[in-house]
């Protein structure tokens, strides 16, 4: 039996590196050596072991919940036609496991597939075996491990695309982490005239201009809502993208900031149930769009568009990678990602790197 190494989330705040059976290759599957696995905000919800996120997992958690993947094809099944050995790919695992034929797959909403195949061993591991759909070849100029951040990048881009920007809008993004900065960049590329973003940390403020932000405001300002409304000449935002979640009051702020008959895209995840002022939302005729997935919008896949924008630096998501660590330092990577005061924007684990 061939083995590989990988993480297991044993209990809150405790990760161990263990040996797993290396996945085999079937006639319709592809074996990928993972070169980069990003630590996602949702991983940190599981890491702390509290709130609604615990409904989605149990301890011990094989693989420790990793789902932001990029790697190199090392073997293919006899019926695989779209990728070959040596291809560097960003991996949409949901598209790869989807049936491709149900009503949701037909709409490009692979995460909602009614016949999605259960995952094998995935996460912070050295190898994955997946179907050939959902594997996007990485353009030259983008390092393989860096392309793992296409997954959260695509979540932000998909949310902004589904909001239907027509051009000329004022967009407010609450939060300047990976989701917020990518949402700001996408809004600008898609035609927003003015992008306002809120940021908590110096590293976020420094990155904001690269991602199209025209105005950067401190998220802790006690008069934040008033300052944002001033920046919109009192009209409110045509689109608000909420990306913070956790324990923040940002959903309530979004309803204050958005103009009547406009939209709020919600990308953040909260640790507790969050009340909504339904009277305010209804009387303002606000559309709330909850979206933390990706797929196909119109005729282009979110992953494909994100890779194109990275390669052209229209949205330079590669600049978000602040730390790269080997698999042996996975637990330290989680601690680092959870403590933004240490300057972490995006932490990526490289399974094949030396400690």
pTM of the model: 0.94
Q: Please tell me the predicted confidence (pLDDT) of residue 56.
A: 64
Per-residue model confidence (pLDDT) at position 156: 97
- Please give the structure tokens belonging to residue 43: 């991983």
Q: Please give the average pLDDT of every successive group of 10 residues along the chain, which has 355 residues.
A: 94 95 95 97 82 70 93 98 97 94 96 92 94 96 97 97 97 97 98 97 94 97 97 98 93 98 95 90 97 92 98 97 96 93 92 73
Q: Can you give the pLDDT at residue 1?
A: 82
Q: Among residues 248, 274, 290, which one ends one of the domains?
A: 290
Alpha-carbon span 312 to 96, nearest angstrom? 26
Residues 345, 265 share a domain: no
Residues 6 or more apart whose CB falls under 8 angstroms from that of 332 comprise: 325
Q: What's the pLDDT score for residue 32? A: 97
Answer with the one of 274, 290, 306 that is the final residue of a domain.
290
Indicate whether 91 and 62 sit together in one domain: yes
Q: What does the alpha-carbon distance between residue 322 and residue 184 come to, in Å, rounded to a whole number?
A: 19
DSSP state of 271: S
Domain that holds residue 116: 3-152+296-350
**Same structural domain for residues 177 and 69?**
no
Claim to verify: residue 165 and residue 143 sit in the same structural domain = no
Q: Are residues 11 and 148 in the same domain?
A: yes
Do 138 and 233 sit in the same domain of this protein?
Answer: no
Q: 355 lies in a domain?
A: no
N-terminal to C-terminal alpha carbon distance within the chain? 25
Whether residues 52 and 81 share a domain: the answer is yes
DSSP character at residue 313: T
Residue 70 lies in a domain: yes
Pair 88, 160 in one domain: no
Domain count, the chain: 2
Task: Looking at the structure, tell me whether residues 174 and 277 fall in a common domain.
Answer: yes
pLDDT given for residue 55 in this prediction: 66
CA separation for the pair 218, 205 (Å, rounded): 9
């Amino acid at each position: 039996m061939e083995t590989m190494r990988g993480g297991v989330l044993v209990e809150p705040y405790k990760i161990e590196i263990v040996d797993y059976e290396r996945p085999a290759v079937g006639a319709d599957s592809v074996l990928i050596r993972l070169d980069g696995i990003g630590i996602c905000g949702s991983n940190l919800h599981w890491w702390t072991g509290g709130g609604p996120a615990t409904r989605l997992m149990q301890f011990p958690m094989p693989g420790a919940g990793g789902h932001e993947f990029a790697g190199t094809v090392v073997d293919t099944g006899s019926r695989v036609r779209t990728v070959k050995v040596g291809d560097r790919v960003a991996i949409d695992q949901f598209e790869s496991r989807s049936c491709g034929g149900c009503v949701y797959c037909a709409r490009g909403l692979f995460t909602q597939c009614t016949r999605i195949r259960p995952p094998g061993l995935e996460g912070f591991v050295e190898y994955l075996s997946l179907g050939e759909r959902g594997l996007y070849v990485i353009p030259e100029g983008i390092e393989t491990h860096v392309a793992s951040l296409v997954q959260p990048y695509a979540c932000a881009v998909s949310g902004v695309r589904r909001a239907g920007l027509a051009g000329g809008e004022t967009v407010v993004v609450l939060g300047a982490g990976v989701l917020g900065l990518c949402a700001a960049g996408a809004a600008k590329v898609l035609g927003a005239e003015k992008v306002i973003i809120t940021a908590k940390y110096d590293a976020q403020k420094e990155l904001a201009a690269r991602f199209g932000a025209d105005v950067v405001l401190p998220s802790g300002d006690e008069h934040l809502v008033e300052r944002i409304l001033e920046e919109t000449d009192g009209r409110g935002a045509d689109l608000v993208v909420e990306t913070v979640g956790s324990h923040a009051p940002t959903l309530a702020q979004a309803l204050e900031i958005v103009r009547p008959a406009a939209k709020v895209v919600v990308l953040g995840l909260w640790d507790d149930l969050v009340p909504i002022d339904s009277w305010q939302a209804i009387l303002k005729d606000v559309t709330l769009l909850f979206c933390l997935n990706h797929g196909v919008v119109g005729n282009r896949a979110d992953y494909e568009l994100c890779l194109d924008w990275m390669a052209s630096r229209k949205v330079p998501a590669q600049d978000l990678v602040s730390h790269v660590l080997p698999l042996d330092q996975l637990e330290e990577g989680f601690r680092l990602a959870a403590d933004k005061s240490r300057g972490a924007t995006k932490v990526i684990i490289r399974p094949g790197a030396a400690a």
